[in-house]
Structure 1
Amino acid sequence: MKNITFNHLIYIAWALLTPLLISCSSPVNETEDEEHAEGNKVELTQAQYDLADIQLGKIEQRTIGSELRVSGIIDVPPQSNVSINLPYGGFVKYTEMLPGTRVKKGQFLVSVENPQFIQFQQEYLEGLANREYLKADFERQSSLYDEKVASGKSFQQAKSAYLSNEARIKSMEARLKLIGFDLRKVQAGEISSSVSIYSPENGSVREVFTNVGKYVGPQDAIMNITNSEDLHVELSVFEDDIPLVAKGQRIRFSLANNLNTWREAQVFLVGSGVREDRTVTVHGHLKEESADLLPGMYVSARIETGSHAVWAAPDEAIVRFGGRHFVFTFLEKKMENGQPHYAYEMIEVNKGISEDGFSEVSLADPTLDLSAIDLVTQGAFTLLAKGKNSEEDGHGHGH
C-alpha cells in the first residue's frame, strides 16, 4: 500500500465536503428570502375579512404644505383685556364675580365705598345751590355797570364769583362721572357713600384681585375682563425662520391637552423686533371661535410656508412597527379548500410631512410602483396585528 501524506488527506476531505457545502448553501439562502417574503404577507378567511371591514384605495398625489413648527399661546389684543379700577379708591362693599364668570356690557360687577364720596356730592349740590344767586348777582351788577351806576370793581367781583362757581360745578360733574355716579340721582338729592361699577363690554372675568372689605387704591386693578371674541394665537418664531413667514399664511394649531385636534388661524401680523430669546412674535387670527379657548393657553402650531404636490396616503393606512412605517397592499383573492382567502402584503414606506389626515410617503423599495398599489385605507392595524400574531405562533402568514 502506498503511503498517504497529510496533504493528501486534506485534499480528499475538501473534495468530499465541497459538493455537500454547495448543495446546502443555496437552498438555505432561498429559504430565508422566502420566509422574509412570507413574513410580510397576511391572509384572511372570509369570516375574518368580513369582520375586519377592509377598505381599498390608491396612493394619490396631493398638495401638502411645507410647515414651520413653532409654539405659542392664546392671547387677546390690549384693547380686549380691560382692567377694572376706581380712580379715587375705596373699600370693596360687594361683588359676586369669580374668574371665568361671563358678563355682558353694562352688567353689575362690584360696589366700592368711600366716605369721601359724600363730600364730593355735597360740594356739587352746594355749587348748584349757589348758581342761581351768583348768576342773578352777576347779571344785576352787569346792568348797573352798563348804566354807570355801579363801579367796575363790583361788576368784576360778581363776574368772577359766578364764573368760578360754574367752573367748580363742571369740575365736580366730571369727577362724579369719573367715579361712576349718576348726576341725575345726585341732583335729586340721592347721596351715597358707595358707587357701583358695571362691565364696559362683553366678555368673561379673567382674574379677580380683591375681596369684600379690602381697600383698593386708584392704581389697583379690582379685576380683569377679557373679550374672548378677539382671541388670537401669538407664536414665537426664531429669527432665522422669519423670512419664511408672511401675512396671510395658514396656521394649524392644537392645545397642549388635546394634540390630536387641529384648529386653523391665519397670519395677520409679523413682529418687527427680536426679543432676548432670539424670537419674533407672529400673530394669527382664528378662523372660528371656540368656547374652550382661553387666554394664556399653550399651543403647538405649524405655519404653512409653502406647498407642493406629493404622493400621499391616509394616516389611517400607515402603521408603525419596529421603528419603521408600513402600508398594506391587496395581492389577490384565491380559493383554498373551496373557501375564499384574501392575501395582503406589508410594504415599508418612508413617511414625510403630514396635513389634514394625509402624509407624504415614498417606497423603501424604489423598484415598486406607488400608483399601482391597491392600498388598504381601512383595516391596516387589524392586518398588522393578525400578521404579527401569526409570526409569534410560528407561522409565516395567517390563515
Structure 2
Amino acid sequence: MKNDMKITIKILFTILVISLLIGCNNASDSENNRDESESSKKENTEAKPEEKQALRSVHLSELKFNSLGIKVDTITKKALSGIVEANGQLEVPPQYEATVTAILGGNVSSIKVIEGDEVKKGQTLAYLSHPDLTRIQSDYINAFSRLEFLEKDFERQKRLYEAEVASGKNFQQTQSDYQSVQGEVRAYESQLRQLNLDPSRVRNGNLYELIPVVSPIAGYIEKVVVQMGQYVDPQTGMFMVVDNEHVHADLMVFEKDIYKVKEEQKMSFTLESVPGSNLTGEIYSVGKQFEQNPKAIHIHAEIDDKVGYLIPGMYIKGKIRTGEELVPALPEEAVIEEEGKPYIFIAQKIREEEKVKWELKPFEIRTGITEDGWVEIKFLEPLPKDALVAYNNAYYLISEMQKSETSHGH
C-alpha cells in the first residue's frame, strides 16, 4: 500500500515539473514575438522621415503658369562685383561749414533768419548794437580828415624841398606825419570792413547805427544759438551755416577689408531714415590712419545725384564694389530658402495628350555675391544641359510645393 502511494506522488510531481517547463517556453516565445513586432514597427517608423526629405515637384497647368507670369530661361552669366559692406554717416567738408561769429561785441537787436532758411554768401543774418560802433566811425572820420590835410601839406613841402626853398628836415617831418596817419586810416578801414561796414559811406557822414552779421558762405541755417537782446561777446558763435550741396558719404571700413578698397571704386548706400532710398557714388579718398575703436579707416565718396533730403549726420549703410566678375546669376526672386537651404526651380514643359503642363522641380544651390537685385548661383551638382530655370515667383512655387506635400501626407 505504501509503495503505491509513493509511486502516485512521484507521478504527480513529474507532471507538475513538465507543466512548468512548457509554460516558461511559451512565455519566452511570446516575448520574442513581441520584440520582433516592435522592432519591425520601429524600422517602419524610422523609414518615413527619409521619404519626406525629398522635395516634390510643382505641377501647373499652362493657363495657371501664364497667369502667374512665370518667366523661364536658361541661366545666364552677369558681371557682379565683390562687395565690402560699411556703415557711416553723411558729412560736409570743413570748408563748406561755417560758424558765424560777432567781430565786435554787442547786443542782438534783430534776427533775420530761422533754422532751415537758405542763405547766400554775404547775406545779413542779424544786427548788433553797441556804443563802440559810433566811436570807431567817429575816429575814422577824424583820421581821414587829418590824412587829407597832411596829404596837401606833404605835396606842398615836397615841391618846396625839390625847389630847394624849404629845408629837408621840414619835408621829412611832414612825410613822416603823413605816412603815420595814412597807416592809421587804413587800419580803421580794415576794421570797418571786418564789421561789414562800407568806409566810403562813413567818410560821407552816413554813420551806421547797427553792426550787420553776415554769412561767410552760401548754404542753409543749421542752428540759431542767440536770442533777441542777448549780449554777444566777440568771436562767440551765433549761427551755424552748412552748404549741403557738398555733402558726401563718410564710411568706416574695417581692417580686414581695407586692402580691397581703392579710390574711384563705385559704391551705393541707403539711408536708415528714408525707407526705399538707394543712392550711388564714387570713392575719392581713402584714409591713411586707423580709428582705434572700432579699428577702421574713413573712406569718403562723392554722391552722384544729390537729393534735397540729404542732411549731414544722417546714418547710412553702404556697399563698396571692389571688382567685377562674370558669374552665373539669377534675380533674387528666383531663389528661395527652405529648411535653411537655398533652392531654384528647374522648369520643364510636359505634353500629355492634348494638354500642356509645366513641372517645376526644386534644385538645391549655394549663393554668392548679391548686387542690384541679382544673386550669384553656385551649383552643388551640374545643371542639366539646356535646362530652363524659373526667373521669378520662387516664393509662390515653394508655397505650392508645401501644400502638395501636406495633401500627400493626409
Q: Same fold (TM over 0.5)?
A: yes
Q: 1:271 to 1:35 in 2, by over 3 A?
A: closer
1:191 is aligned to 207
Structure 1, residues 2-32: CA drift from partner, whole Å, max 9, x if none? x989889989998999999999979995x76
Residue 221 (structure 2) aligned to one of 186, 205, 208: 205
Q: Residue 141 of structure 1: SS of its match in structure 2? A: helix
State how 1:137-216 maps to structure 2 within 5 Å: 137-146=153-162, 150-216=166-232
1:395 is aligned to 407
State how 1:80-159 maps to structure 2 within 5 Å: 80-146=96-162, 150-159=166-175
CA distance in 2, matches of 1:20, 1:323: 34
State the one-letter code of the partner of 1:396: H
CA distance in 1, matches of 2:108, 2:384: 72
Mapped pair 1:305 → 2:319: no
2:397 is aligned to 383
Q: Residue 259 of structure 2: SS of its match in structure 1? A: helix
For normalisation by structure 1, the TM-score amounts to 0.82
Runs of 4+ in 1 over 6 A off after TM superposition: 3-28
2:302 is aligned to 285
CA distance in 2, matches of 1:97, 1:78: 22
Residue 223 (structure 1) aligned to one of 235, 239, 246: 239
Q: Residue 126 of structure 1: SS of its match in structure 2? A: helix
Q: Residue 262 of structure 2: SS of its match in structure 1? A: coil
CA distance in 1, matches of 2:70, 2:373: 18
Structure 1, residues 261-293: CA drift from partner, whole Å, max 9, x if none? 432222221222223323222112222222222
Q: 1:386 to 1:16 in 2, by over 3 A?
A: closer
Q: Residue 378 of structure 1: SS of its match in structure 2? A: coil
CA distance in 1, matches of 2:25, 2:401: 54
Q: CA deviation at 1:177?
A: 0.8
CA distance in 2, matches of 1:206, 1:371: 62
Mean Cα displacement is larger for which, 82-91 or 41-50?
41-50
1:250 is aligned to 266
State the one-letter code of the partner of 2:360: Y
Q: Which runs of 5+ in 2 are unaligned?
A: 1-20
CA distance in 2, matches of 1:370, 1:290: 47
Mapped pair 1:349 → 2:361: no
Alpha-carbon RMSD: 3.6
CA contact (8 A) 1:313 1:361 kept: yes
Structure 1, residues 12-70: CA drift from partner, whole Å, max 9, x if none? 998999999999979995x7666554x53223345543442222233322222222222
Does 1 or 2 have the higher relative contact order (CA < 8 Å, sep 6+)? 1
Mean Cα displacement is larger for which, 122-131 or 155-164?
155-164
CA distance in 2, matches of 1:208, 1:386: 60
Structure 1, residues 339-377: CA drift from partner, whole Å, max 9, x if none? 6543322333222221121111224xx334176442222
CA distance in 2, matches of 1:144, 1:367: 109
Residue 76 (structure 1) aligned to one of 74, 82, 92: 92
State the one-letter code of the partner of 1:308: E
Q: 1:247 to 1:43 in 2, by over 3 A?
A: same
Q: CA deviation at 1:175?
A: 0.9
Q: CA deviation at 1:172?
A: 0.8
CA contact (8 A) 2:287 2:299 kept: yes
Structure 1, residues 183-205: CA drift from partner, whole Å, max 9, x if none? 33223322112133444443222
Q: 1:240 to 1:326 in 2, by over 3 A?
A: closer
CA contact (8 A) 1:52 1:382 kept: no
CA distance in 1, matches of 2:42, 2:292: 70
1:271 is aligned to 287
Q: Which runs of 5+ in 1 are unaligned?
A: none
Mean Cα displacement is larger for which, 146-155 or 233-242?
146-155
CA distance in 1, matches of 2:393, 2:37: 49
CA distance in 2, matches of 1:23, 1:389: 28
Q: 1:349 to 1:114 in 2, by over 3 A?
A: farther
CA distance in 1, matches of 2:110, 2:144: 31
Report percent identity of matched pairs. Answer: 26
CA distance in 2, matches of 1:22, 1:84: 89
